[in-house]
């Protein structure tokens, strides 16, 4: 049955036909949506428009436009890999959208999807209370989307991107050039803060690996295509987070802010550090597991929290 769906896509002659057929194939498949979309129709739209060379925000006026035989065949090829190999769509197209910006995307780094996008587009307001941020650190930056988008939306800020993975940093460098912010961005290979000893920032934003062992073992097949180094972090998902909390205060300005994402491990974090006054951000566009701590809160709570 599935091969018939895919064959029908290769025979589509218009955008509208291809969309309907890709959508039907996805709905009949076991694929998991968690890398930019959450339903079959949105994924079908992204796949077909990309194959047709049309903008991702195209409206219904494109439905009657013709597809060439090559474009239809390409859509069927990508659909087959998406369904049979469970490859996330951004890895098939080589692009992802995050914080309203287009990113190069490949298996050197996880696919951009953090709710922190909403925060950085707002200049980290209302949580950051200091003067206009001059220096921002994206810790565990991966492909660089959070730090680079921060540089885009805060044009007066200098941004450092740190990660242990050299391959991920190479992708971040590509994205920095394509976004045109490389003049204000420093990309450094580093085990957490080791490459920036003695340096302080107005904002430290970090989306470290945080998936606990139980969730990691149960993740859908799509996640197996992402770097394992960027996902799991020990039994409770907090191995790296503990180190970050122990060191972050020493790298923040007195007025500074730590923005930390831990996803589903947020309850484990509260249990591990009951003395820390985590403020959990509520997002208008969905997402959870992101907290903020001021430099003062970190410094005042460190002794009680055992940091």
Rounded distance, CA 84 to CA 230, Å? 24
Phi–psi pair at 161, nearest 5 degrees: -115, 120
pLDDT of residue 36: 87
Residues forming beta bridges with residue 162, ordered by sequence position: 139, 188
* 273: nearest Cα among 286, 255, 257, 260: 260
Give the C-alpha separation, 119 to 76, whole Å: 37
Q: What is the pLDDT of residue 214?
A: 86
Q: List, in order, residues 6 or more apart from 177 with CB less than 8 Å away.
A: none
pLDDT for res 104: 96
> Within a 13 Å sphere around the CA of 226, how many CA atoms are in the beta-carbon half?
25
Report pLDDT for 92.
97
The predicted structure's pLDDT at residue 286: 87
Q: pLDDT tens digits for 261-270?
A: 999 999 999 9
First-residue to last-residue Cα distance in the chain: 57
**Helix-, strand-, coil-residue percentages of the chain, each rounded to 5:** 45, 15, 35
The confidence score (pLDDT) of residue 107 equals 96
pLDDT band of residue 306 (cuts 50, 70, 90) is low
Number of H helices, E strands in the chain: 12, 9
Kindly report, residue by residue over 187-238, the tens digit of the pLDDT. 999 999 999 999 999 999 999 988 888 888 889 999 999 988 788 888 888 9
CA distance 237 to 279: 19
206 forms beta bridges with 139, 260
Checking if the pLDDT of 302 tops 60, the result is: yes
Instruction: Give the pLDDT band of residue 1 (cuts 50, 70, 90).
Output: very low
Tokens at 136, concatenated = 């921002």
Distance CA 122, CA 269 (A): 26
DSSP H helical ranges for the chain: 2-10, 15-27, 40-52, 69-84, 89-93, 116-121, 145-153, 166-179, 213-218, 239-247, 266-272, 295-305
Q: Can you tell me the mean pLDDT for 4-32? A: 91
Output the average pLDDT for the chain: 93
* Over residues 72-80, mean pLDDT: 95
């Amino acid at each position: 049955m599935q091969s018939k769906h895919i064959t029908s896509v290769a025979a589509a002659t218009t955008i509208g036909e291809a969309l309907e057929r890709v959508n039907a194939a996805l709905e009949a498949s076991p694929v998991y949506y968690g890398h930019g979309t959450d339903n079959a129709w949105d994924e079908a739209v992204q796949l077909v428009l990309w194959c047709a060379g049309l903008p991702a925000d195209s409206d219904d006026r494109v439905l009657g436009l013709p597809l060439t035989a090559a474009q239809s065949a390409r859509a069927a090829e990508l659909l087959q890999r998406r369904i049979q190999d469970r490859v996330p769509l951004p890895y098939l197209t080589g692009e992802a959208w995050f914080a309203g910006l287009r990113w190069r995307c490949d298996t050197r780094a996880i696919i951009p999807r953090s709710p922190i996008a909403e925060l950085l587009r707002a200049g980290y307001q209302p949580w950051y209370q200091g003067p206009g941020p001059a220096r921002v650190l994206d810790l565990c930056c991966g492909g660089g989307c959070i730090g680079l988008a921060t540089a885009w939306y805060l044009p007066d800020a200098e941004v450092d991107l740190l990660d242990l993975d050299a391959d991920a940093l190479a992708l971040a460098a590509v994205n920095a050039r394509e976004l045109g912010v490389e003049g204000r961005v420093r990309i450094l290979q580093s085990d957490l803060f080791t490459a920036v000893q003695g340096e302080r920032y107005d904002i430290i934003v970090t989306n470290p690996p945080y998936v606990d062992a139980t969730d990691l073992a149960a993740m859908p097949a799509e996640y197996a295509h992402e770097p394992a180094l960027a996902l799991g972090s020990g039994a409770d998902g907090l191995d790296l987070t503990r180190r970050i909390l122990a060191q972050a205060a020493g790298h923040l300005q007195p007025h500074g802010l730590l923005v930390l994402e831990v996803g589903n491990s947020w309850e484990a974090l509260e249990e591990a550090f009951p003395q820390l006054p985590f403020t959990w951000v509520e997002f208008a566009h969905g997402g959870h597991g992101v907290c903020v701590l001021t430099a003062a809160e970190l410094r005042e709570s460190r002794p009680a929290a055992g940091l």
